[in-house]
């Protein structure tokens, strides 16, 4: 299984945050208005057995409904998006460090997997994806008559 790198669109102020760090307890994106965006790449463990692959992806804080998975052109894509609720009337944030969280990861699947046998389970912040291997294609042998 091959990892496909995906670099999500990051806020405009992100390079400045890394360059200048924290300024009086607030990063630069706070002043630009992008401090409620959190895009990160979740950690993953991939194991292979004789029967298939198992992918464990850490996605704490998301619900099962926030997660999406699809397979297109031999690439398994896992993504999630979560928005926080809105404020009540008369409330305002004095500091907001979370409000929107999203990620997207892609994994190139090898040729020897059964695409229709991919299953997933989400429990305790870990998405577990099971992918069964297909039987290796046996070379066809045919007799050729000699004339």
Concatenating the DSSP letter of every residue in 39-97 gives E----EEEEE-SSEEEEEEE-TT--GGGEEEEEETTEEEEEEEEEPPPPPTT---S--S
Maximum distance among all alpha carbons in the chain?
94
Instruction: Kindly report the backbone phi and psi dihedral angles of residue 47, in degrees, each rounded to the nearest multiple of 5, phi listed first.
Output: -120, 150
User: Are 77 and 3 within 8 A, CB to CB?
Assistant: no
Q: Which of 71, 69, 74 is nearest to 112 (CA)?
A: 74
State whether the Cα torsion 21-24-30-35 is positive or negative. positive
Please state which CATH number belongs to domain 2-87+97-132. Answer: 2.60.40.790
Residue pair 95/109 in contact (Cβ under 8 Å)? The answer is: no
Task: Choose among 61, 60, 70, 62: nearest CA to 120.
Answer: 70
pLDDT at 126: 97
Compute how many other C-beta atoms are within 10 angstroms of the C-beta atom of residue 31: 12
Domain extents in the chain: 2-87+97-132
Per-residue pLDDT of the chain (147 residues), as tens digits, is: 665 555 555 544 455 555 454 444 444 444 444 444 455 789 999 999 999 999 999 999 899 999 999 999 999 999 999 887 778 888 888 887 777 888 999 999 998 999 999 999 999 999 999 999 998 777 888 888 898
pLDDT at 39: 55
Residue from 109, 21, 116, 122 nearest 66 by CA = 122
- The alpha carbon dihedral of 28, 34, 37, 41 has a sign of negative
């Amino acid at each position: 299984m091959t990892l496909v790198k995906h670099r999500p669109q990051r806020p405009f102020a992100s390079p400045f945050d890394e360059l200048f760090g924290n300024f009086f307890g607030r990063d630069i994106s706070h002043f630009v208005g992008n401090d409620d965006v959190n895009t990160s790449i979740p950690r993953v463990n991939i194991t292979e057995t004789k029967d298939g692959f198992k992918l464990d992806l850490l996605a704490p804080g998301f619900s099962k409904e926030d997660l999406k998975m699809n397979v297109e052109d031999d690439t398994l894509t896992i993504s999630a998006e979560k928005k926080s609720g809105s404020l009540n009337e008369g409330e305002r944030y004095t500091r907001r460090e979370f409000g929107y969280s999203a990620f997207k990861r892609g994994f190139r699947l090898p040729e020897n997997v059964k695409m229709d046998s991919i299953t997933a389970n989400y429990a305790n912040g870990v998405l577990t994806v099971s992918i069964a291997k297909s039987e290796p294609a046996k070379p066809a042998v045919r007799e050729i008559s000699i004339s």
